Amino acid sequence: MPTSQELQINIGPQHPSTHGVFRMTVTVDGETVVRLDPVFGYLHRNHEQLAEVSTYIQSMPYTDRLDYFNSMASNYGLALAVEKLAEIEVPQRANYIRALMNELTRILNHATAIGFLLNDMGAWQTALAFSMREREKILDLFEMASGARMMCNYFRFGGIWRDLPPEFVPQLKQLMVGLPSFFDEFDKLLRENEILRARSINIGILPKELAAAYSVTGPVLRASGIAYDIRKAEPYGIYGELDFDVPIGSVGDVYDRYLVRIEEMRQSYRMIQQIIERLPDTIGGHINPKMADIGKQKTLRPPVGDVYARIESPKGELGFYLVSDGSERPYRYKVRAPSFLNLTPLGDMCRGHRIADVVVILGSIDIVMGEVDR
């Protein structure tokens, strides 16, 4: 009678499918995962302490490096927290542009997340090429507005760095003409794809009852059937005025996460349509006049107190906890990173699956190591 023996293997930190320098120690019995422990810290640079020895605005470009796919969303989180702490008002137009940038970033994040997920399944570069094509178009818009493709550093306390250039909206409209056919084509290629279905249905299930206990947020939580979206639950900016739906999954497997992301892209598209329509009528400039001077940004001294502000970033709840001692530098600065906390159930989701499914389940969570390790 042959006996089986458990074997411990190491995936990462240098591995093409771990989305950065992420490491997992996996115990396998044959090909079945018995236990999985994530190991962090390979990209740790103590962002929080660096922020505590910098002024508030000095941290703004550094938030770009948290989730480097969605710098606009990270910017928004910090701006919102500081504005709450220092009680700065944001003009309507700035809020519209902020929401526009955030929905664009959601589209590019979800498109590439699905592209990379297909990469992990072995559809090497094909799906990714489609999403990268659309992503470049959005990054062109970001570059036009902020001067940088990825490290946008676009937000300021009380508004944004500068208003949209005149050629922005025509190019955005051109992009919007092409997006629906991209969604349809992308979805048509993938939704019924036999390999995608075989690799994702009933893989990595996170049941509804467990999802909340595990503190997961964003598309992972919604795929498990809980319609929790901060844009609806605690609307910030202009999200209370926009009309959109929150898609949810039924089972909570990898396939549901794929479907939720596809649908969220369509909802973001709907939101951008509404924003384009209303943008010409918005009032107020791109920044609160009291904060328009860069010197004001640099010497901002919020009153003593603490605040927790959060946004729905493409990956989940991005929160900033700030404590002010009344000086120019935050006394405490903490980032509640969605990709970090969404990794909590990874071990449980992988248990009992094949080792080849581990990278697929990890890909379906959609992590960025800049944010996980901070």
Partner 1 sequence: MADASDVAELRERIERALPGTLVPTPSRANTQAVPVKKGEQVAPNFLATDDPVITADQLPNVAGYLRDTLGYELLTNITATDYLADGIIEMVYHFVRLNGGAPIAIKVRTSREQPEVPSLTAEWPGADFQEREAFDLFGVVFRGHANLRRIYMWDEFEGFPMRKDFPKQGDKYFEDTEE
Q: Which residues bind partner 1 (CB under 8 A)?
A: 40-41, 44, 46, 48-49, 53, 84, 210, 212-217, 226, 228, 232-234, 301, 303-308, 310, 317, 319, 321, 323, 325-327, 331-332, 334, 336, 340-341, 343-345, 373-374
- Indicate the pairing of strand 316-324 with strand 305-313: antiparallel
What's the closest the beta carbon of residue 3 comes to partner 1, in angstroms?
29
* Of 216, 215, 268, 212, nearest in space to 242 by CA: 268
Closer of 149 and 336 to partner 1 (Cβ) = 336
Query: Smallest gap, in angstroms, from Cβ of residue 171 to partner 1?
Result: 36
Closest distance of CB 85 from partner 1, Å: 10
Nearer to partner 1, 83 or 134 (CB): 83
User: In 217-249, which positions are buried (b, 16+ CB within 10 angstroms) versus exposed (e)?
Assistant: bbbbbbbbbbebbbbeeeebbbbeebebebbbb
Q: Is 311 helix (H, G, I), strand (E, B) or coil?
A: strand
CB nearer to partner 1: give 115 or 316.
316
Identity of the residue, 139 or 350, whose beta carbon is nearer to partner 1 in the bound complex? 350
Encoded amino acid at 242, one letter: L
List 7's β-bridge partners, or say none.
Answer: 28
Question: Number of C-alpha atoms within 13 angstroms, CB side, residue 120?
Answer: 25
Q: Which is nearer to partner 1, 147 or 305 (CB)?
A: 305
Q: How far is the CB of 129 from partner 1 (least distance, A)?
A: 34
| CA 196 to chain CA mean position, Å | 23
Query: In the complex, what is the shortest distance from the CB of residue 336 to partner 1, in angstroms, rounded to a whole number?
Result: 4
CB 192 within 8 A of CB 331: no
